[in-house]
Structure 1
């Protein structure tokens, strides 16, 4: 059953087409993810499909008997309305009955409360009311009397998500639903969407979320849509195959173009009357041969200032706001190469700890000692600051026209922008015309230009596309200084951090050795998420005192990359060996060729044996 159909839709801004003649279909039960680079038009396409933005060409149709719920990227509500009014502003009679029940409960009017109960009873809405309570509790919205205008942007986004889920539409259209959720909320939402009989269309950069929730991946790339029936892992495999085929087709078109260009030049008079089909085919070949994929795999290698032996020491620091303790006597000494993830519920005090580390906030007790050589790079959840009418390249040149890399080389501001996925044609764009993700990328670029040796990234993955995340991860894996990451992106944390600061109740912070998946496994094994740090430390100590089962050390990032590289190299050698074996078995070569092929196989065997030994060594270490 087809729920949504888009036929030949096109959208332009001024004289520039964002995309043309796109066709998309969504069937009942599909859980479809729309992915693509920042600035390609994902949000615009979503607003068109949701009926918010008019299109220039084509048509969008939604099945008449279904209800559609839409979560926009930046929800806009009347700031004077309380949360309750926003949550139940739809026309669903069950939702209206539950809203009246909540209002009656708060009013203290017994008659009104009795009438509300009777109404809920008549509609058999108690299950609905219980589901509302679950959604509000899991998304951290305990007080429905608060006015929307007093809430942060992240809180408003969670209210908007709760509203959409409460309405329980047949088709959910969600733009970045995991932004501003903490890790427990992301995991709950993932489970909720997996267990609900809902058809889903969403934009997200969360790769674990994509892999476990979605069964269809649609990529918006260079104005075209590519559909993959499978999860994110399947998409990666098939995309690589598609790009290899496209690269081969472009190479063939370029070779043909050179031949046809010679024919065109030799017959200028004949073009008007002869072989018109060939002239038309030449234009098609020219267009195909002119295709150029922007290389988004440029390696970031930004210079960092030298870091001394004393970095940052936290001597039993504490912070309270009123009667609430958000950081309780936390003690830690940062070491070179520390790679720490910070996890905890929204409002637990994560940003408070970061601000005390950098000196933007004084602790109520204890002391923060910072080394003289420490240079912080602090990426916050704040809007990008720029002048009206300022262009991307000029904004970067305001800081420096030449940037030093970690290799000692220098690059121009334009080359530096290129590495951050701002190709030359994008560098003259007005900043106000950039997408949210592109502005976030610029903000990160500016911080790295200052050559920090202690990077603090507060939710760096919000609004960034997957391509940017992959490049950022590669850079951070080789970053030589200290790194602290606050993120709800589990894949990002797992790949980059060695241990965690876990915010628990009453401002207590657990220093956990391992990444986020290690921590979740630890909780599952102990069946108690509230086990204190002392229990965990005792367990770790007991393990370390058992000589029969020494703890394997983790591979370094360099060794991990070597292990991954070895797997590819071994596969390539195997293919080469198979080619020479096939030649030998063919029996068509001369005596000299047969001898040479046998020699090549012998050399390949030696190389493979050497690489296999190193692979086994690294595998056992990991």
Structure 2
């Protein structure tokens, strides 16, 4: 079934168009991700599709049987009303029956039995139990409880989860044909919630258009990517990897096309200048073609890459040391005798469920909060850079370039050269025109990008990033990752973006609750694999011991000499053993493949020589890894 047709859509704010003459279609079952820089019209396009904004030109056709449901970044709640009233605000018999039943069973005191009997009878009459189970699953998975509290009492993250629950309940209850539009649905969700949402959207027969910065989520849920770039729309079928490959090919072709256009422009410009102004014989079609060529020739292709060899404040021998640190808020214990000494160049991810104290832990490291007991010693050379969830704080409205110049006029590089504030802004995708925009006119994502830029401009040597990926677009995330991969200082990251964590961290602090922090040697995906293995081990049946027999037992054989007690492997050693087994298996498979190629007798001399050398390397690696495997397994 055909859901949506968009033809020749144009939208501008001021003189600059966000997008111009774009067209696309959405069919039933499509799951599309919309990708673009912050401030280039992603949210505006979504709002036009759901009728909350009007385009300057073009047509949007939506099938009469299709209902459009949208999750916005800022939810539209009646703040004084309860969570329950905001979620079930449709006057539909099934929803009202569920609302009445949930209201009675969610109260702390015993419900009125007569009212409860009526509510149950109404649920039976409308056959609403199946949908009620789905509602309970959604609310439980998103950790939404106490439905009677007013929405105004919730934090921003809690409100986002309530808005998500409302949208998921809406699409499940009666609409046969629904277009679900989601703007950054994974913000403020912990990883278990994100993984559940992935599975939920994958199983539901839903047509989806979403904006997300979470690349694993995008890959899991979507089968098509639309990109807004330089006011045009480009469509790519397939996953994120395919999008990156096709985009790189397109940009190569664009560069070639622009270079040809510039050569043609020079020739055409010379011809235009040679013509006498009074003559009317000049070809009108050639004049029109000239202006088209001129537009292409002057097109700016910006390289979205950040290559900065940063001159960082030197880190001394002593960086950061925690000794027997305890911290709790009431009954919530955050740290229980935590010991750790940070080393130069460490890259640590901090993970755990929402509300276990990750942000408090970061604040304690920087001296913004004090421990209940224990010591936190910070080295004299440490310069913290704190990218907090609070975001950008500007005392008075000013232009972007003024804000950065107030920090410093230039950014020093390791080779002794400097980058001006304007050049640094351009590296973070702020065009010269954007640099003279007032900060109040920037989009939410652009403000986050400016906050990040201003933090890096101060040259910290210990970066603390608390949810840095929220509201950042994918091009900016790519730039940030490139910068952090070459960053020489210490790095501490709290993030629910699994792709970001996997790319940047070497080990994890896992907040398991009740003050317990596990130091896991590996990235987030490795941790999740280990966690699943542990769950499987717990589910394995425990061997049942045979009951002692009353019959006389044969005399015991002479006791064998006792083996020395085996040393229990540490967690790191267990992990190393698992990785060694995988490495040995992969090396043996590669050796077998090379042996077959060499035995076929069809390889040219150069390839045969290279294969023989590689087999020698593999044999040496197998010896080395095999010895270590034996050492650990014994």
> Common fold, TM-score beyond 0.5?
yes
Is it true that 1:167 corresponds to 2:176 in the alignment? no
C-alpha contact (below 8 Å) 1:304/1:406 kept by paired residues:
yes
d(CA) in 2 for partners of 1:323, 1:355: 19
d(CA) in 2 for partners of 1:132, 1:13: 40
Is it true that 1:469 corresponds to 2:477 in the alignment? yes
C-alpha contact (below 8 Å) 2:464/2:492 kept by paired residues:
yes
d(CA) in 2 for partners of 1:109, 1:57: 57
C-alpha contact (below 8 Å) 2:469/2:495 kept by paired residues:
yes
Q: Deviations over 1:154-173 (max 9, x none)?
A: 11111101100011252110
C-alpha contact (below 8 Å) 1:349/1:507 kept by paired residues:
no
d(CA) in 1 for partners of 2:500, 2:224: 22
Match of 2:148 among 115, 128, 145: 145
C-alpha contact (below 8 Å) 1:544/1:550 kept by paired residues:
no
Q: Deviations over 1:23-80 (max 9, x none)?
A: 2211100001100111111011111111111222222232222222110012132221
Deviation at 1:222, TM superposition (A): 0.7
Is it true that 1:55 corresponds to 2:61 in the alignment? no
Worse overlay, 542-551 or 70-79: 542-551
d(CA) in 2 for partners of 1:529, 1:184: 20
Deviation at 1:537, TM superposition (A): 6.6
Residue number in structure 1 paired with 2:570: 538
Residues 289-438 of structure 1: matches in 2 within 5 Å?
289-438=297-446
C-alpha contact (below 8 Å) 1:216/1:227 kept by paired residues:
yes
Q: Deviations over 1:451-496 (max 9, x none)?
A: 2111000000011111111111111111111100011111100000
Task: Flag the 1:542–1:383 CA change in 2: closer, same or farther, 3 A.
Answer: closer
Unpaired runs of 5+ residues, structure 2, are 540-566, 585-603, 626-634
Worse overlay, 482-491 or 10-19: 10-19
Residue number in structure 1 paired with 2:82: 82
Residue number in structure 1 paired with 2:233: 225
d(CA) in 2 for partners of 1:393, 1:499: 37
Residue number in structure 2 paired with 1:244: 252
Task: Flag the 1:265–1:85 CA change in 2: closer, same or farther, 3 A.
Answer: same
Q: Deviations over 1:546-591 (max 9, x none)?
A: 9997999xxxxxxxxxxxxxxxxxxxxxxxxxxxxxxxxxxxxxxx
Match of 1:513 among 517, 521, 528: 521
Deviation at 1:321, TM superposition (A): 1.3
Deviation at 1:15, TM superposition (A): 2.9
Q: Deviations over 1:360-389 (max 9, x none)?
A: 111112221111111111100013122444
Deviation at 1:431, TM superposition (A): 0.7
Q: TM-score, normalised by structure 2?
A: 0.84
d(CA) in 1 for partners of 2:579, 2:11: 66
Between Structure 1 and Structure 2, how many residues are aligned?
566
Deviation at 1:124, TM superposition (A): 1.5
Q: Deviations over 1:510-531 (max 9, x none)?
A: 1100000110111122226999
Match of 1:259 among 267, 270, 281: 267
Residue number in structure 1 paired with 2:64: 64
Residue number in structure 1 paired with 2:449: 441
d(CA) in 1 for partners of 2:166, 2:537: 29
Aligned residues: CA RMSD: 2.9
d(CA) in 2 for partners of 1:409, 1:427: 22
Q: 4+ residue runs of structure 1 moved beyond 4 angstroms? A: 528-531, 542-552, 619-622
Residue number in structure 2 paired with 1:39: 39
Worse overlay, 218-227 or 297-306: 297-306
Unpaired runs of 5+ residues, structure 1, are 553-600
d(CA) in 2 for partners of 1:548, 1:52: 56
Q: Mark the structure with the bigger radius of gyration.
A: 2
Residue number in structure 1 paired with 2:486: 478
Worse overlay, 392-401 or 418-427: 418-427
Structure 2 SS opposite 1:294: coil
Structure 2 SS opposite 1:143: coil
Is it true that 1:158 corresponds to 2:161 in the alignment? yes
Deviation at 1:211, TM superposition (A): 1.3
Residue number in structure 1 paired with 2:30: 30
C-alpha contact (below 8 Å) 1:271/1:279 kept by paired residues:
no
Q: TM-score, normalised by structure 1?
A: 0.86
